[in-house]
């Protein structure tokens, strides 16, 4: 059964907390009110029930306690309630009545929590996120996109988890990481959406990254982390020579084994090509080339592998072959900046997009936003302008040899 006194009083307090009155910035004489309409309180207008009398009883009780003022329709007392107004001189009593902490108190509680974090040495995403929340709260702006003010324990857990992700130095599976942080193998998975949202907003270059790719950057995986290699290239692993050419579709090597790989510089490798999508990797063939499937964004272990390859074949040409879209361009930029290797784009130009126009897809609003943010990069400007003008993007799998 609805407790209409609590329901209406909470609605009034919600309105109060979203107004300038609660921050002390209001300069007008206004009243916080709740209007009785068929939409806001349908039970009051239901002639087949006795809720009308119950609602009157609760409202009159609140008025007797001086928490609200009843405004009667046509000033006919005891007839129909048009609206009720909050008595802002009895706010403490109103909050106590509904057993609710004032928003200002919750904000102060969170500001103390955030100050404690910011005063520590924090990794970049965690610090930027904490400072963002602090700034929003100080400016009386909403933070419900990321946290709930009434749940500081959850905010603390989120910050601790982000810090633990950034500071992780050991390759772990997600459930191992969860046990380490929460003593519960499934707790971390329940935070997936919130964590992904924070990293996409506050980690440079992560705007369109998949959750698995974000975690892989810090050595945390759902399943074993593999890199696939193929080409007429010999390599040495723990003293054993392995000829990649005998594997028609190449060889998958786990992240745990990558550090032990050495490449024989006697191979005739003219070009090294990283490939974004697994289907294309399996289908693509190139003479005198080393093809590498990285699985989207690369991480620290994969960067080490790429640097080992570059040290072995410094004279080779280095290319990245990915989707002709914002994500593909971001992965390409990420490769160049984080490895220091002079990668160039491969089949990611305007001619390729035009040649495969029949397979192109339309851009989303998010695609357009991301592409506009990349337009200042000279090598991308021509193709981005074309993509924006013609509403086109292309998946790598559509490109044929």
pLDDT value at residue 165: 96
Instruction: Give the 3-state secondary structure of 160-210.
Output: HHHHHHHHCCCCEEHHHHHHHHHCCCCCCHHHHHHHHHHHHHHCCCCCCCC
- Convert the chain into a string of H (helix), E (strand) and C (coil): CCCHHHHHHHHHHHHHHCCHHHHCCCCCCCCCEEECCCCCCHHHHCCCCCHHHHHHHHHHHHHHCCCEEEEEHHHCCCCCEEEEEECHHHHHHHHHHCCCCCHHHHHHHHHHHHHHHHCCCCCHHHHHHHHHHHHHHHCCCCCCCCCCCCCHHHHHHHHHHHHHHHHCCCCEEHHHHHHHHHCCCCCCHHHHHHHHHHHHHHCCCCCCCCHHHHHHCCCEECCCCEEEEEECCEEEECCEEEEHHHCCCCEEEEHHHHCCEEECCCCCCCEEEEECCHHHHHHCCCCCEEEEECCCCCCHHHHHHHHHHHHHCCCCEEEEECCECHHHHHHHHHHHHHHCCCCEECCCCHHHHHHCHHHCECCCHHHHHHHHHHCCCHHHHHHHHHHHHHCCEECHHHCCC
Hey, where are the domains in the chain?
4-97, 103-220, 225-398
CATH of 225-398, one of 3.90.660.10, 3.40.1360.10, 3.40.30.10, 1.20.1540.10: 3.40.1360.10
Q: Along the 401 residues of the chain, how does pLDDT read in single tens digits? A: 789 999 999 999 999 988 877 666 655 667 899 999 999 999 999 888 889 999 999 999 999 999 999 999 988 888 999 999 999 899 999 999 999 999 999 999 999 999 999 999 999 999 999 999 999 999 989 999 999 999 999 999 999 999 999 999 888 889 999 999 999 988 999 999 999 999 999 998 787 788 888 998 898 988 777 889 999 898 988 888 998 988 988 998 887 787 778 888 766 899 999 999 999 999 999 989 999 997 655 577 788 889 999 999 999 999 999 999 998 998 899 899 989 999 999 999 999 999 999 999 999 999 999 999 999 999 999 999 999 999 999 999 999 86
d(CA 257, CA 302) in angstroms, rounded, equals 11
pLDDT of residue 106: 94
Please tell me the predicted confidence (pLDDT) of residue 384.
97
Q: For position 28, what pLDDT does the model report?
A: 61
């Amino acid at each position: 059964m609805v407790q209409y006194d609590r329901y209406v009083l909470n609605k009034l307090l919600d309105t109060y907390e979203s107004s300038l009155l609660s921050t002390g910035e209001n300069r007008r004489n206004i009243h916080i009110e709740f209007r009785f309409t068929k939409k806001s309180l349908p039970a009051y207008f239901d002639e087949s029930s006795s809720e009308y009398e119950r609602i009157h009883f609760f409202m009159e009780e609140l008025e007797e306690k001086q928490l609200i003022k009843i405004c009667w329709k046509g000033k006919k007392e005891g007839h129909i309630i048009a609206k009720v107004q909050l008595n802002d001189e009895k706010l403490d009593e109103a909050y106590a009545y509904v057993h609710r902490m004032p928003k200002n108190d919750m904000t102060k509680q969170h500001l103390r929590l955030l100050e404690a974090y910011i005063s520590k040495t924090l990794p970049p995403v965690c610090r930027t996120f904490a400072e963002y929340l602090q700034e929003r709260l100080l400016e009386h702006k909403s933070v419900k996109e990321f946290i709930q003010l009434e749940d500081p324990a959850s905010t603390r857990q989120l910050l601790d988890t982000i810090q633990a992700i950034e500071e992780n130095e050991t390759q772990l599976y997600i459930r191992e990481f969860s046990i380490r942080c929460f003593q519960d193998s499934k707790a971390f998975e329940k935070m997936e959406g919130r964590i992904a949202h924070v990293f996409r907003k506050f980690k440079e270059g992560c705007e369109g990254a998949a959750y698995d790719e974000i975690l892989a950057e810090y050595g945390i995986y759902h399943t074993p982390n593999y890199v696939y290699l193929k080409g007429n290239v010999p390599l040495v692993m723990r003293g054993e020579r392995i000829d990649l050419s005998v594997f028609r579709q190449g060889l998958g090597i786990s992240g745990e084994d990558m550090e032990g790989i050495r490449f024989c510089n006697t191979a005739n490798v003219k070009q090294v090509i990283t490939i974004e999508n697994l289907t294309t990797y399996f289908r693509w063939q190139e003479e005198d080339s080393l093809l590498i499937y990285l699985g989207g964004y690369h991480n620290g272990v994969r960067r080490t592998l790429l640097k080992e390859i570059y040290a072995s074949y410094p004279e080779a040409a280095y290319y990245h072959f990915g989707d002709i879209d914002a994500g593909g361009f971001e992965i390409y930029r990420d490769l160049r900046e984080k490895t220091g290797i002079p990668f160039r784009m491969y089949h990611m130009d305007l001619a390729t997009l035009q040649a495969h126009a029949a397979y192109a897809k339309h851009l989303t609003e998010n695609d357009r936003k991301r592409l506009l943010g990349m337009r200042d990069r000279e090598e991308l400007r021509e193709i981005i302008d074309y993509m924006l003008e013609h509403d086109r993007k292309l998946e790598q799998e559509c490109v044929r040899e």
